[in-house]
Structure 1
Amino acid sequence: MLFHVNAIAHTPELENVFASFRATQSRLQTYMEHKDYGEDIQAFLLGFICVSPAYDSFFKPRRDRYTKARKVSHKDGFEIVRERMFECEVLLPYDTLATASIEEVKGLLTQEVLQAVERLHKHKPKLESFDIHSFIQDIRFFFANNLVD
C-alpha cells in the first residue's frame, strides 16, 4: 500500500520544520509499502497545509475524497490517474509550528497523521473490503514503537 504524506509550507521558516519530518515520512512509506488491507484502498495520501494566518482563507483543506473507480484527469500537461485512493488534507496551526521545537512539531504531525487515518471510519460503508482496524493499528504501531527519529 502506498502511504504518502505531503507537507506544503509557504514560508522558509516552516520549510525547515517539515524537512525534519520527511525522513519519518520516508520510513513510514517503506514500512507500509508491502502491507495489504484489501482491495478498496491501494493509496492513502495525506496533505499538510501550513501558511501564515493572513493566507488561511486561500488555502482551505479540501474534503476527504475516496476514488474507487479509475479516473483520469489532466493538469498542466500531465495525466493524473486516481484509482482506489483515499485523499485528505489537514490545515496545521501556523503560529504553533512557527514557535515549536522540532520534537514538538514531530509530536503534532504524528497526532495529525493518527487523526487523519481515523477519518476512514466515516467512509466505512464505501470500504467494504478494506481492513480499517488493521490499517490504523499498523500506523499506531509505527509511531508508538519509536520508528520516528
Structure 2
Amino acid sequence: MKFALLTLSALVFAVSAIAANDSVAFFYKPEKVGVLINERSQTGRLSNFLNHFGNSDVLNTTSTDQKINISCARGQIGIACTFTFLPAQNIQIRDRALSVVTNVAALGLPNAGAFEMSFASSMKDKFNFAVSDKGEIRMTGSKILGQ
C-alpha cells in the first residue's frame, strides 16, 4: 500500500511537471516589482512577443526614465523574460498589484501594431502585457495571497 501511494504521488508530480510548459512569478515590494516569465517553447507567447518587436533572440530595453526594464532571451529549450518596475507617475504599485501605462517610444520599441499576452500561475500570480495599434502599452499584474 505504501509503495502504491508513493508511485501514485510520483506519477502525479511527473504529469504536473510535464503539463506546466510555462510559469509566471510576480515579486512584489512597495518600492519595486519584478515579473519573471519562463516558457518551455520556441513557439509560444514569449516567442510571439520577441517576434512582434523584431524577431530577435534577445530583447533588452529600459524606459527613458529608467523606471521600466524588460529583458528577454531565447535559450535552447525555451524563452525567459524579466520585467522590472519602479514606482512613477505612470507606474502604480500598491496592494500587491501593478498597473503601468506607457508607450513603445518610451521603451525604445518599434510601433509594430497591436499585440497582447497574458500569464497566470497556480499560485495566483498574474501578468498581462498589451500594446495598442497606436503604440500605447498597458501592463498589469498581481500577487493575490490566501485565495
Bin the TM-score by the shorter chain: under 0.3
Larger helix proportion of the pair: 1
TM-score (norm 1): 0.28
TM-score (norm 2): 0.28
Higher RCO (CA < 8 A, seq sep 6+): 1
Select the structure of larger CA radius of gyration: 2
